Structures are given as C-alpha cells and as structure tokens.
Amino acid sequence: MFDGTAESSKNNNPFAKYSGYMLLIIIICVPWIITLQSENSDLKDELEVANETIAEMDEEIFNLQEQNSAWEVNVDELRKELEESEDLNTRMLSENYDLWEQCNFFDQYAGIVTVSGEKYHTYNCYHWQTGSDFWIYNIDAAEANGYEPCLDCH
C-alpha cells in the first residue's frame, strides 16, 4: 500500500514523468546554445569588420570621385590648350610657307658677291660670311658685271 501510494503520487505529477527527458534535452541544448551564441558573436565581429571596410571603401570612392572631377577639369584645360596650339601651329605653318617662298625667290633671283670674289652666291653659301663686305645684284646684273654662278650653291 505504501509503495502503491508512492507510485500513484509519482504518476500524478506529469513533470516527474518527463523530468529525465527534459534534463537530457537541457544537457544537449546548453552546449548548443553556447555554441550558437559564440557563432553569433563571431558573426557580429565579422559584420563590424565588413561595415568598417564598407566605410573605408565609401571614403575611397568619394576621394576617387573628387580626383576624377579634378582630372576632368584638367582634361578640359588641356583640350583647350591643344586647340590653341593647333591654331598657332596652323598659323606658323602658313607663315613658314610664306617665308620659304621669299627665300626661294631671293635664292632664284638675287646673287651675293664679295668685294674680291668672281662668283655670285645664295644667302646660305659658305663662300661668303655676313660679316664681310658684299654686294647684292639680281642674277642678270651680276652676270652683266662679269660674275659667274658659284658651283657649290647654284
């Protein structure tokens, strides 16, 4: 009768019946929960590092955009300078051609003679120097005065 009463009181308590299972579940779950918390903490650290990296990259993007803007201004200025240089180059080519025509004209129609020489020369001939005394005739007049063409420059 004593044992029967004990048995019936045990059976009446529903928690007592499953307490062994619950204890087992708790024993299994506690390390699992600790592991989960640890993993959660690791993930939080990783998230923090990732957020820092994102902030650094945002700053870098901002800096690069500013640099890019500065370069765009620089490119515009250089393009303008290039256009001006091309205009100048075109003008100088034209002037150069005019001067070339003038030089060609003088080489063709003018003869430079030295005071003691017997030949007539072009401006660039090495047989006379600008420091020495000279006369300039047109070719016909030089030949009429007895001068002959220099073989090195004519």
Interacting residues toward Zn ion by CB under 5 A: 121, 125, 127, 150, 152-153
Query: Residue 110 Cβ, how far from Zn ion at the closest point, in Å?
Result: 12
Query: Residue 81 Cβ, how far from Zn ion at the closest point, in Å?
Result: 44
Query: Residue 142 Cβ, how far from Zn ion at the closest point, in Å?
Result: 12
Query: Residue 75 Cβ, how far from Zn ion at the closest point, in Å?
Result: 53
Host H or E run for residue 146: none
**CA–CA separation, 149 and 133 (whole Å):** 18
Query: Residue 122 Cβ, how far from Zn ion at the closest point, in Å?
Result: 6
Indicate the residue among 113 and 153 with the shorter CB distance to Zn ion: 153
For the chain, helix (H) and strand (E) counts, in that order, are 3, 4
Indicate the residue among 127 and 138 with the shorter CB distance to Zn ion: 127
Indicate the residue among 12 and 124 with the shorter CB distance to Zn ion: 124
Indicate the residue among 8 and 130 with the shorter CB distance to Zn ion: 130
Indicate the residue among 2 and 126 with the shorter CB distance to Zn ion: 126
The 10 Å Cβ neighbour count of residue 121 is 24
CB-nearest residue to Zn ion: 150
**Rounded to 5°, angle at Cα 48 from 45 and 49:** 90
Look at residues 139, 136, 122, 127 and name the one whose alpha carbon lies nearest to residue 148.
139
**CA–CA separation, 35 and 106 (whole Å):** 101
**CA–CA separation, 52 and 83 (whole Å):** 46
